[in-house]
Structure 1
Amino acid sequence: MYPYNFQPGERVAGPTFGAYGSTYYDDRAGQNLISFDTRESITDGLGAGSYDIISGRMTIMVLDNNTFYDPTPDSWQTWLGAEDDDLGRACIISGAGFRGGYDGWSFGDDGDWGVVEHYGRNVYPIGFVDGDPVDISRNLAEGWDPKPFGVGETDEVSIGEPMPDLTTLTFELDTSDPDIQCYLRNALDDGLLSLVLSSLHYGSHDGGSYPQFIMQENSLVFAGLANGSGLELEVVVTQPSSVAGDINNDGGVDVSDLLRVINEWGCSCCISDINSDGRTDVSDLLAVINNWGG
């Protein structure tokens, strides 16, 4: 995702790079939107709380050896001259936020990029602050470090060494983070998981040193010599019960359902949100009590 990409949805390689200090580009100037249709492998539309993501990972190949391997996101202060303990910049994945009336389905492969100004893009990487999704495209200018959904790692090269052609980076999803877990649950309920790949490598109109990632349209993928992006998820799916108050779908309303409500208190995407008002709270507790023994 870049304003001067004249082949949206058709590029054979997708770059990620930064433009810190630009008067109109975001810090994370070059980004890639990568979406996975999950409906064939995981039933959608059951409600976000029906999905418990145990683990997950995304993989993608680097096209060339133009960057150093760095699996640790650097503090924003390293762009101001603070010491950086290792060579290179990390590649991260984040959730996807949308503007301009788009969502993941309507944006597709060739949605309109947006406006060339700060926060002008119609798709952007998100992090969470106090449970709220926030555009992280200008985290350097704003002086904060976002928590990524996953960081690119590989055992094919040592830290600080150039990544060879066709190095595979694996991004382990942080499913233990409640905000990331909720994002993933809602995505599976929708049937489409959208992620944004970004980095802060130096880039300019005259060049730079930044990674290019292999897209599924690359001829190497068609020839079987490389892989496009991939997704693996381990998910426990709980079918909604027809019995009111039966959260765990065991056929009755009892202490296990009561404990589920208590353990998930305040959750915004849990199956214990019986009345689907966006939060597990006292109304859901009362729903269990009122249907006790059902």
Structure 2
Amino acid sequence: MISPLIALVLTQAIDFSTPVSSDRWMYPFNATPGDRITGSLFGIYGSPDFDERDAQIYLAFDLSAAGIPKGTPTSQIQCNSLTLMIDVVGINSIPYDPTVDSGESFVDPSLDLDPGRPVTLWAAAGRAGYTSCDFPEDGPFSLGPPSSGTRSVYCQGLDLNTLELVDVSNSVRDGIWAEPLAVGEIDGLDPGQPILPYDRMTFTLDVESLSARELLFGEDEFCGTLALVLASWQEPVDMSSGFHSFFMREHPDVLFGFAAAATLSGQIEIAPPCPDDLDGDGNVGFADLLNVLGDWGCTSCGSSDVDDDGTVGFSDVLSVIASWGDC
């Protein structure tokens, strides 16, 4: 059997809770990028000049400071849980909707059978020389005149029609079928009730969804920053009311502890770069083979069950032999 000490060396579990390190209201007419104290969310349908998910909020979290190093191969990252929390400013009376609405209901609001529009959470991505990892808090909305499909960072999802990672800012217009990573929920509030000032909205991310790991941590290596985007189809009333609004980290209520800007918490495991190196000595050899043979038939020995089929057996022996030598 592998000792608890060796198991600890083999897989590093990190529990963390970290405040947002960068938040930016991504709206074409934001006159104070990076310094704005609130961020609003709303959508507009049918305009060739604006994205359907028009006003978005970019949130970046420095997970390298939490112990998840920059450069970690994405294949070694196992995300067990992620939760985002952020407080609502609540300057507008909006009914609470914790359910995903269909794209058809954005075209024809009469098809939305429950009041309100949900707040959805997506992975962030960049264009025009920016990535979600290096976009500065006061960076430009776009490199040219603002128009549909040009924002520097945007909400990204997996198009379930094509299985490609795409910009979902105009998912209805572009015929994209994508699910958000999470939908905002407020504890103790019934659907349809008004969202009140200082209500805390919580997003429990679906870390098991298809391509979630690539969306959150990158396709090859983790850059050290986990970046997300909040969005909503909530349509404003005369552009002055009727939209979701959230506290940003520069808000005085946040600075003095009366409200909370975005916080990300969760648990992430970092697997060793060489899973067949069971004793962690940097080499796959006889000691690792003996570990597998010593756990033969075990159904609860995660480390020596290197192929993760639920039982330590012949396939694990073959895996060790196939990886024989230095890692």
Q: TM-score, normalised by structure 1?
A: 0.83
2: CA distance, partners of 1:112 / 1:33: 12
Cα deviation code 1:189-237 (max 9, x no counterpart) = 2110000000011126642410111000000011110011000011112
Residues 1:11 and 1:131: Cα distance change in structure 2 (over 3 Å): same
The answer to whether the 8 A contact 2:44-2:235 is kept is yes
The answer to whether the 8 A contact 1:240-1:249 is kept is no
Deviation (angstroms), 1:120: 1.0
The answer to whether the 8 A contact 1:96-1:194 is kept is yes
1: CA distance, partners of 2:132 / 2:263: 17
Cα deviation code 1:131-154 (max 9, x no counterpart) = 421111111223444210111001
Residues 1:205 and 1:100: Cα distance change in structure 2 (over 3 Å): farther
Q: Which of 117, 124, 132 in structure 1 is aligned with 2:147?
A: 117
Q: Which of 115, 138, 141 in structure 1 is aligned with 2:173?
A: 141
Tell me if 1:25 matches 2:50.
Answer: yes
2: CA distance, partners of 1:47 / 1:173: 21
The answer to whether the 8 A contact 1:247-1:257 is kept is no
Q: Which of 115, 118, 128 in structure 2 is aligned with 1:87?
A: 115
Cα deviation code 1:11-38 (max 9, x no counterpart) = 1100110111112101000000000001
Q: Secondary structure at the match of 2:184?
A: strand
Tell me if 1:107 matches 2:140.
Answer: no
- Residue 213 of structure 1 corresponds to 246
2: CA distance, partners of 1:173 / 1:248: 31
Cα deviation code 1:52-74 (max 9, x no counterpart) = 10011111111015211100111
Aligned partner letter, 1:119:
G
Q: Which of 14, 30, 50 in structure 1 is aligned with 2:39?
A: 14
Tell me if 1:168 matches 2:216.
Answer: no
Residues 1:204 and 1:106: Cα distance change in structure 2 (over 3 Å): farther
Tell me if 1:157 matches 2:189.
Answer: yes
2: CA distance, partners of 1:206 / 1:46: 43
Where do 5+ consecutive residues of structure 1 fail to align? 264-285
Listed as ranges, the matches of 1:141-290 within 5 Å are: 141-186=173-218, 189-203=222-236, 206-241=239-274, 246=276, 250=280, 252=284, 256=304, 259-260=307-308, 289-290=321-322
Q: TM-score, normalised by structure 2?
A: 0.75
Structure showing greater Rg: 2
- Residue 56 of structure 1 corresponds to 82
The answer to whether the 8 A contact 2:106-2:233 is kept is no
Aligned residues: 269
Q: Secondary structure at the match of 2:254?
A: helix
The answer to whether the 8 A contact 2:306-2:319 is kept is no
1: CA distance, partners of 2:148 / 2:234: 18
Where do 5+ consecutive residues of structure 2 fail to align? 1-25, 293-303, 311-317
Aligned partner letter, 1:15:
S
Aligned-residue identity in percent: 31
Q: Secondary structure at the match of 2:190?
A: coil
1: CA distance, partners of 2:222 / 2:107: 42
Cα RMSD of the aligned pairs, angstroms, is: 2.6
